Structure 1
Amino acid sequence: MQWTLSFDIPEGKPKINYQSQLFSIGSCFSTVIGDKLAERKFSVLNNPFGTLFNPISIAQVMEDSILEMPVNSDFILVRDGLYLYFGMHSDVVAYSKESLVRLIQKKQTQAKQVLESASHVLITLGTSWVYEYGNQGQIVANCHKQPSGLFEKRLLNADEIQKAFASFFNLFNQFNTKATVLLTVSPVRHTKDGIPENQLSKSILRLAAHQLSEAYDFVHYFPSYEIMMDELRDYRFYKDDLIHPSVQSEDYIWERFKQAWIDPKSFALIQEFEGIKRDLAHRPFNPESPSHQKFLDNLQKKLDKYSMDFDFSKEIDQLRKQTRYRGK
């Protein structure tokens, strides 16, 4: 008996490998994929501006970074003694206006450097619903729990999204002519907008992504939303909030992404690094037993083997906390 309907995903080219430079931005699902790539030691800058949901803000922060635009002081606010920016997530926070401006400029510089050398740019669109702020109706990335009366909520249309990304892509292509852009629609459900409203929002994002992939030969679409809606069409594949995909679902979509876009020659290293991650998470019955000490010694050898070419500093520190041989 067949319990799910699967579909083919076109093979992506050029493939991602361990020489690739990756940039991931957008909805929290982009963080999930970015984290999985980072855990497997791919070179990736993952959501430097924090989680961004709407496509206008996503395109804007990338464009501002490349153009080295000054920080918009009208977008700076204070909440509970902390300084935040309407154009970014609350992860971007400081204790003074000056510190916030320096932090944003640092992140823009980092983003510009990676974007200019990136082989692949992963963009996850979350919602078509936006909030406009101020007399000029500027779209914010995050309302930062400010009074609702300060904002006007509205729905973007596909042409607006296409225009915003066309502006960025045309600029981006002047600085980086070799990058491949992967667009995807987040499988996370924005139920606070309403169920019909969420479906409408996702439909607009999907249409805009299709239009962009048709307009630019370096832009491709990866169907993470469709995988969730069709191959994983059951609430058991969601977390308890019934909004976010479960860990099992994230792993499944990652495997589909891996098969479509990652060079099979990298699979052996991926498997090895996944094994190291599992070994580090292992909790022994008796940490002092000779068998466990041997297990740790073997794990140390693996880390030593790969640390010449990959950054395993966090894993080495984690291992040292487990072993009696602190000097290793």
Structure 2
Amino acid sequence: MRWSIDFPIHESPFPISHRSKILSMGSCFAQTIGQKMKNAKFDVLVNPFGTLFHPLNLADLLDHALFQDPLDQEGMLERDGLFLHYSTHSDIAGKSPEELTEIYSQKLRLTRSYLEQGTHLILTLGTAWIYVHETFGRVANCHKQPQKMFEKRLLSLEEMEMGLWSVLDNFSRAFPNLKIILTLSPVRHIKDGVAENQLSKSLLRVLCANLEQRISSVSYFPAYEIIMDELRDYRFYKSDLIHPSEEAEDYIWQKWQQAIFPVSTREKVSEIQKVLAELTHRQFNPDTEAHRKFLQNLLVKVERLNKEFDFSRELAEVESRIKR
């Protein structure tokens, strides 16, 4: 008897290689897949404004990056001695309004550079529910402010599509070489309610399909469907039963590689991951001839990879172990 299904995922029309320059933004999956690519030595900028969940929050920041808009001072607040902004995650913080403004400007410039020079933009959408501040408007993060200051809304498909489409359509003209991969976060926002979460995810999935039809540079990767249909079991979630487990993340990563990376890139990723795994190996007794030989062989592998990628940190680590 079969206990799961396996569905085909078509190869991406916009493959990613180690020559690609990638910006990954959005919810937790954007962070997870972006970090895995970063670990595999891809040139990728991951969530420069912190974790973001709503498509219009992403649209706002991408639009600001395109036009290098200054930080709206009306959205700034102070909490626990730090200055935050309603348009970004609490990871973006300053000790003064001036410091926060400078950090935000730096993030905008960095994001713009990845859009101008980049080949791929990965956007992961998390929820269609959004919080609207009584004076500032829609926010990306409430920063633990009193609930009475916000109104929670489920935005319509039309609102979200118009907002995100207008930005991506601008990108297709400003950055004609930029390819966009949309994904739907597999994280379940059940604090909104189980039925409400499913409604939200349904709206976002239709949003992705509509954008894929309207913009030729857009494609979709089914991370959400992999969790819902292939890994349909709570053993593939962490203890909170909301976030995918490490095993599930690794499974999706394998599917991502098969769909998005050419064969030559997958082979290179496998080589890199094997060497990185060897770097984490800790010998019970390092004062043996076998371990010294292991380190010498590892040094050769790292030196070879360092000719193609930045393995300077790993190279220094192996050399320091040899000298001990």
TM-score computed with the length of structure 1 as normaliser:
0.95
Establish whether residue 272 from structure 1 lines up as the match of residue 299 from structure 2. Answer: no
Equivalences for residues 164-203 of structure 1 within 5 A: 164-203=163-202
Q: Distance in 2 between matches of 1:303 and 1:97?
A: 44
Establish whether residue 141 from structure 1 lines up as the match of residue 140 from structure 2. Answer: yes
Give the gaps of 5 or more residues in structure 1: none
Q: Following TM superposition, by how much is the alpha carbon of 1:278 offset from its aligned partner in structure 2, in angstroms? A: 0.7
Q: Distance in 1 between matches of 2:248 and 2:227?
A: 8
Equivalent residue, structure 2, for 1:24:
24
Amino acid at match of 2:203: I
Q: Following TM superposition, by how much is the alpha carbon of 1:209 offset from its aligned partner in structure 2, in angstroms? A: 0.8
CA contact (8 A) 2:65 2:111 kept: yes
Establish whether residue 299 from structure 1 lines up as the match of residue 298 from structure 2. Answer: yes
CA contact (8 A) 2:172 2:217 kept: no
Q: Distance in 2 between matches of 1:197 and 1:227?
A: 21
Equivalences for residues 68-107 of structure 1 within 5 A: 68-107=68-107
Q: Distance in 2 between matches of 1:295 and 1:96?
A: 50
1:102 is paired with a residue whose SS is: helix
2:22 is paired with a residue whose SS is: strand
Q: Distance in 1 between matches of 2:97 and 2:313?
A: 32
Q: Distance in 1 between matches of 2:141 and 2:314?
A: 34
Indicate how the Cα distance of structure 1 residues 42 and 79 shifts in structure 2: closer, same or farther if over 3 A, else same. same
Q: Distance in 1 between matches of 2:32 and 2:98?
A: 31
Matched positions, count: 324
After superposing the two structures, state which structure 1 stretch, 294-303 or 198-207, moved more.
294-303
Q: Distance in 2 between matches of 1:30 and 1:120?
A: 13
Q: Distance in 1 between matches of 2:12 and 2:304?
A: 31
Q: Following TM superposition, by how much is the alpha carbon of 1:166 offset from its aligned partner in structure 2, in angstroms? A: 1.3
Q: Distance in 1 between matches of 2:258 and 2:186?
A: 19
Q: Distance in 2 between matches of 1:101 and 1:235?
A: 43
Equivalent residue, structure 1, for 2:219:
220
Q: Distance in 1 between matches of 2:288 and 2:83?
A: 51
CA contact (8 A) 2:15 2:260 kept: yes
Equivalent residue, structure 2, for 1:54:
54
1:89 is paired with a residue whose SS is: coil
Q: Distance in 2 between matches of 1:169 and 1:34?
A: 20
Q: Following TM superposition, by how much is the alpha carbon of 1:193 offset from its aligned partner in structure 2, in angstroms? A: 1.0
Equivalent residue, structure 2, for 1:111:
111
Q: Following TM superposition, by how much is the alpha carbon of 1:135 offset from its aligned partner in structure 2, in angstroms? A: 2.8
- Please give the root-mean-square deviation of Cα atoms over the aligned residues, in Å: 1.3
Indicate how the Cα distance of structure 1 residues 91 and 318 shifts in structure 2: closer, same or farther if over 3 A, else same. farther
Q: Distance in 2 between matches of 1:129 and 1:283?
A: 46
Q: Distance in 2 between matches of 1:14 and 1:104?
A: 30
Q: Following TM superposition, by how much is the alpha carbon of 1:318 offset from its aligned partner in structure 2, in angstroms? A: 4.2
Give the gaps of 5 or more residues in structure 2: none
After superposing the two structures, state which structure 1 stretch, 226-235 or 166-175, moved more.
166-175
Establish whether residue 39 from structure 1 lines up as the match of residue 39 from structure 2. Answer: yes
Q: Following TM superposition, by how much is the alpha carbon of 1:192 offset from its aligned partner in structure 2, in angstroms? A: 1.1
Q: Following TM superposition, by how much is the alpha carbon of 1:62 offset from its aligned partner in structure 2, in angstroms? A: 0.9
Q: Following TM superposition, by how much is the alpha carbon of 1:309 offset from its aligned partner in structure 2, in angstroms? A: 2.5
